[in-house]
Structure 1
């Protein structure tokens, strides 16, 4: 004969349960504070700046916008403050440029220098027929020297296997999975993908370093 378990009726948590929950929460908070304190003694990378503008001459597009994100080895780097991802507004082209002046700000702590943060870009826009298409993929290493740096990121985009179709229909192929490492690979050297140079994006970085000498680390 099968055993039957009667349904339990709900009951309010007693004082002991409340004390246990509060104690557990306090332990987690204390652990978080200690972890934060340990990271504060590690090398610190502060970076802010702007994704300033992109050229449209190589894209045949009238409007562009740019999505960006920081990529880093999470076992070695921790983002303490800031946004890991961002996206500009859609800018109309003028004199061959789309201007965004979109700010970014991030604060990292490092356990090891391997996997130094880089910024990856995906530029999209509208062509003359109003279709949203990819204009280019790009990446740039966050500068390792303190100071102000203005860098031009040469983006790339895939080439269609059917050049006639691409020319007649204006279809631009794009990556199905932007999480893969193709974006970080050098232009035109991606296994299985034919690529061409496309839009150039100007990015301004302001970099500050802290606690590197104290941890016997030197960057070049």
Structure 2
């Protein structure tokens, strides 16, 4: 008899990109993301008493909620935040990035796989050129159980304060030839971008690649801004 099983997540790791991706099989408690807690932490970081008036400040917290990719049953999200040269990350030494737990779904009611994976950053700038983007890489096992890229996606941070929902379309590069696709399938090196952040965020080299749509990822944002009006921007 068929039965509906809730979507399951296996652990969580937000300490940055790790080549040795871990699948925590023993995770018993699915962690629920408290967006209010993330918002309060972000508010502390942009306290007007601690801000220099010569900069604009953007604080964004959010959750990578769920996604779907080509009928895959197990997926993992690798994210990074990319912005222009005039922007400075105030709460990290380098580019914020993270990798989610491996999540699976066996539900008969929905095709979405739930991640509930949080992210947060605070930036300062004197120019809005190079508005920050969230870059997503969707990974999953291939036929032989090896972790491979299933698709890419990107979305700009919302420009208005408040809560926002976004659906990020996921796409995948198409091999240049059938032989290339076949041999890539055998050795676990399918068509992918070698410098994904540059290609996705800046469009470098996109004009010579072909892609196909493979799914989507749902993301929720909580946006706060300071001092933008001092630079002539209204919101």
When the two structures are superposed, what TM-score results if normalisation uses the length of structure 2?
A: 0.67
- Residue equivalent to 1:55: 68
Distance in 2 separating the partners of 1:49 and 1:213: 24
Give, in angstroms, the shift of residue 97 of structure 1.
2.2
1:9-28 superposed matches below 5 A: none
Deviation at 1:49, TM superposition (A): 0.7
Q: Give 1:116-135 correspondences, 5 Å limit.
A: 116-135=131-150
Decide which of 101, 118, 136 is 1:89's aligned counterpart.
101
Tell me if 1:175 matches 2:193: yes
Find the structure with the greater CA-based Rg. Answer: 1
Distance in 1 (CA, whole Å) between partners of 2:123 and 2:80 is 14
> Unaligned stretches of 5+ in structure 1?
1-36
Deviations 1:30-77 (A, max 9, x none): xxxxxxx77454211110011111103x2x433111111111112x11
- Correspondences of 1:19-168 after superposition (within 5 Å): 39=52, 41-56=54-69, 58=70, 60-74=71-85, 76-81=86-91, 84-95=96-107, 96-163=111-178, 166=181
1:54–1:97 CA contact under 8 A, matched in 2: yes
SS of corresponding position for 2:209: coil
Q: Distance in 1 between matches of 2:89 and 2:53?
A: 11
By how many angstroms is 1:211 displaced? 1.1
Q: Describe the shift of the 1:93–1:165 C-alpha distance in structure 2 as closer, same or farther (beyond 3 A).
A: farther
CA distance in 1, matches of 2:215, 2:105: 13
TM, length-normalised to structure 1: 0.71
Q: Is the 8 A contact 1:45 1:107 kept in 2?
A: yes
Gaps of 5+ in 2: 1-49
Residue 162 and residue 113 in structure 1: after superposition, are their counterparts in 2 closer, same or farther (change >3 A)? Answer: same
Deviates more, 1:83-92 or 1:194-203: 83-92
